[in-house]
Chains A and B, each alone.
Chain A
């Protein structure tokens, strides 16, 4: 039996690439934020507060990306049974949860000065909150199940189920919200603002890839320990040749 999880163990050295990506990501993010905070002009309707969009929108893209990645890993694990996908799934869900949480915070930070409320039931933000709850639940599921096989299978199934729900939740909240006519975060952004948005998006993406790589590494190490084959017997090897034929 050769499981790719164990085959590559020896060759994994220090995660240089991951740290480089993280470094690059932080640098890019700093640059983009500088542009966003100091260089971009003031927005017509919202004043200075709008600047949070420069992180909010990229975070949103990347949160969805991370969870889509998790969905992909879940499918791959269910169809292929390769343990590395389970490790990646774990990383993807955790990072996706972190980003979703940040997204909700950013949304609240934006809403309070603008509308005077912490939460405005904006469809996208509300969907994010539901997503956050759903995937936190999956992380809890992973924690409460000891058997690695069950844990991997169940969390993959739960991820698929939760991810399919995302568009449904979005549409239902949108319809539900439209009855109340609350303002939502702006959709269109004029071209003067594109640079910091894109730069930050790339920055967060680099961070995302770097952190997921590191987290996957940790998950793989734990899996290797959990799935390790038994030690050979102290005495002679016990392998009997087939007895009286069937």
Chain B
């Protein structure tokens, strides 16, 4: 739709203009990866084994910052409300923002891969596969994340509400993405990759449709 494209242009422009913040979030993610390694200790086998898990945890934690940041821009001068009053379709606004968030999280995830490789001494068999899983997983985080950040930005206890609501919901995304990433890093002797990728993809399809349907109810007053 024309509105979706227009809103997407705005999102991309905003992301470019606020790139300093995204850089800061990347540093946060990288620091988290560092901290995780301290939690485990200098046991290189353990670190290598769980590298995928740490990567996804770091991305999950960073996502709360990125998602909240993205909605902050909509509420400070009531930008989103202004657009909806034009009138603009809430659904188009949702998809534009969810796509932009997924894009941003994918970039974050991909940027964290070299950090993971260095800190956990990992050698990746299928790099582009890993990137693909990151995109799928980021999409899975973004769909419900965009809706929940819309709610959290208008409620009290903003910072706590978003992770509280989002984290239990994206357990399947986390499980599947970690597993798939591990298999792509270390090799997949039993051919399990397909089922994990299917899981994330199904989650993505279900939630991208569901959340688009209900977003209108969440932002109307």
Contact = CB atoms under 8 A, between A and B. Distances in A.
A/B contact in complex, CB under 8 angstroms: yes
B197 to A, nearest CB: 12
B-side interface size class: 20 to 34
A45 B156 CA distance: 52
A176 B211 contact: no
Interface stretch (A32-40, A62-70, A91-99, A133-141): A133-141
A138 B144 CA distance: 14
Contact of B161 (A134, A141, A153, A161): A141
Nearest to A146: B156
B177 to A, nearest CB: 10
A42 interface: no
A209 interface: no
Interface string B163-190: 0110111011001100100000000000
Contacts of B165: 134, 137-138, 140-141, 158
B214 interface: yes
Contacts of B202: 168
B171 A153 contact: no
Interface string A155-176: 0011011101100110111011
B24 interface: no
B86 interface: no
Interface stretch (B27-35, B61-69, B147-155): B147-155
Contacts of A164: 206-207, 210
A131 to B, nearest CB: 8
Given A162-B169, A165-B169, A169-B171, A144 B161 contact: yes
B168 A134 contact: yes
A130 B214 contact: no
Contacts of B221: 150
A171 B172 CA distance: 8
B195 interface: yes
A172 B211 contact: no
Nearest to B221: A150
A145 B155 contact: yes
A199 B157 CA distance: 44
Interface in A62-120: 78
Contacts of B175: 172-173, 176
A178 B191 CA distance: 15
Interface string B198-221: 010011001100110010011001
A121 B214 CA distance: 33
B169 A134 contact: yes
B169 A154 contact: no
Contacts of B203: 168
B171 to A, nearest CB: 5
A150 B154 contact: yes
Nearest to B176: A172
Given A144-B155, A153-B218, A172 B172 contact: yes
Interface of A: 78, 130-131, 133-134, 136-138, 140-141, 144-146, 150, 153-154, 157-158, 160-162, 164-165, 168-169, 171-173, 175-176, 179
5 contacts: A137-B161, A145-B151, A164-B207, A165-B171, A175-B195
Given A130-B171, A136-B164, A161-B207, 12 more contacts: A130-B168, A134-B169, A137-B165, A137-B168, A138-B165, A140-B161, A158-B151, A168-B203, A168-B206, A172-B176, A175-B199, A176-B179
